[in-house]
Structure formats: structure tokens, C-alpha cells
Amino acid sequence: MRALFVLVAFVSAGTPNLALGKSTKEVVCPDGYVRTTPISVLVIGDSLSAFPGEYPDILRACGVQVINLSKGGMPTYWMERKLKKNQDLLSTVDAVIVFGGHNNFGRKGTKDVLATKESLAEIYRLVGKRKLFALTLSPFGNFDWLGGCLRNRGVTKVTPEQCSREARQLRGEWQSTNDWIRTGADELLEPDHVVNVEMLLGSPEDRWTLQPQFHGRDGLHFSHSAHVLLTKAIIMSILTH
């Protein structure tokens, strides 16, 4: 298989970059992962994929050509629309990596899960099973969730009980979506075409939270070392198929 990929992801902030190019931050490819054969990647996502120095830029440092369609804050239905508008790019690649859904949750409970699965399923169908590689949602729980909820929602006078209930709801939505992706998304995915970010970056004690060494500026956006680890997993997953 020619080594050409598309990555789909979401989270917050950042501007799309349609050009093949270099990072605005200097990054280094991890030892043993430099590609000597031509590889192209299309990335579409949120801030976990949009910021300089994240895994798309590390892929570039490893010799991968990257077209980055990512934009911070994109939920899956925006990703779906954006991919449809750029559907002509799919014929130029051999693999598509989809990583997203974090911006969908916390509004309408089970409706969020259904809407997330519906838009991801449409993206998966658009790409096609043979080319598709999917990433599970990243851990985005926070050990300080309750305090943060109270501080951020203080103007609405929410109670600790309401914040705890919100955390339980979000965790359930996250786990339900990850279970669906990991088990093949109603047969839209090959099970061995899934990169399990939950297991890769999640704490052994609680997979909903990032391991401490992978924390970035909050409980969702992760550190440079986590992006390096994710880059390795992406390269190994795609190049072994």
C-alpha cells in the first residue's frame, strides 16, 4: 500500500492549514521513525491537531507530507461538513485517520452520543473501510473537575452535586463513544485499524484522565511527549497494514 493518510481530529483553537509545509515550531522525529519512502497525510480535526508542534508537525519531521484541515473547537458534524467540502482530497490518499468528538459532549446527554456516532459514521462511510484508521477519544477527565466546574460555572450558581453529575454524564458519553469506535463502529471500521488513545495516554487507575506526565495546559490538551507517543502509534498502525 502507498503510505498516504488522512487524519481527522477535534478539540479547540487553531487555524486550518491546507498547504504542505513545515511546522512553525521546530520539532524532532523520534529515533527510528523517519520515513524514507514518500508518505502523505491529510489531517482534519480540532485543537489536538491544529496547534503548532502537535503530532501533525512531528509527522512532518518524520518525513511525512501533511495537509492539515484542522481547526480548534470543531465538533464532529463540522468535521463531516468540512471533509465533504474537501472530498476531492480523498482520492489522493491511501489512508484516513479520524480523531475527534471531544467538542460534542456535555450538552444534551445521550443525544450528544447519538449525534457524535451519526456524524462519525458518515465520515467513516465517506472515507471507506479500506482506507480508514480511527483514533478513540483522548482522555479528558480532570482530577480537579469539581473545583473547575464550580469556578467556571459560578455565575450560574451550580452546586457541587450538579458538577459531579455533569462529570458522570460526560464520562459515560466518552466511554460509550470509545467502546463503539474500538469495536468497529457497527462494522464501518476494521477493528485492527483503531488507535486506542484511551489506553495509550489514559491513567491506569482511571482511563478517563490523562497520565500526569501527559498533561498539557488542562485535563484535555496533552503534552509534547504525548504527541510524540501518538505519532509513533499512528506510524506503526498505518505502516503495518
Sequence length of the chain is: 241
More confident residue, 200 or 143: 200
Q: Cβ distance 104 to 123 under 8 Å? A: no
Distance CA 82, CA 70 (A): 9
Note whether 72 and 46 are within 8 A (CB): yes
* Confidence at 6, pLDDT banded by 50, 70, 90: very low
Residue at 71: amino acid letter = K
Encode pLDDT of 85-108 as tens digits. Answer: 999 999 898 788 899 888 888 655
Give the torsion sign (CA, 79, 48, 190, 211). Answer: negative
Of the candidates 173, 189, 54, 80, which has an alpha carbon nearest to the alpha carbon of residue 132?
189
Q: Decide: helix, strand or coil at residue 205.
A: coil
Domains of the chain from N-terminus onward: 3-141+178-239 (3.40.50.1110)
For the stretch 177-227, pLDDT in tens is 999 999 999 999 998 899 999 999 999 998 999 999 998 877 788 999 999
Could you give the 3-state DSSP secondary structure of residue 199? helix
Q: Which helix (H) or strand (E) holds 210?
A: strand 206-210
Q: Which one-letter DSSP state was computed for residue 13?
A: -
> Which pTM does this prediction carry?
0.83
Round to whole Å and give the CA distance between 232 and 62: 10
The three three-digit cell numbers of residue 216, written as one number: 498539557
- Distance of alpha carbon 46 from alpha carbon 11, whole angstroms: 4
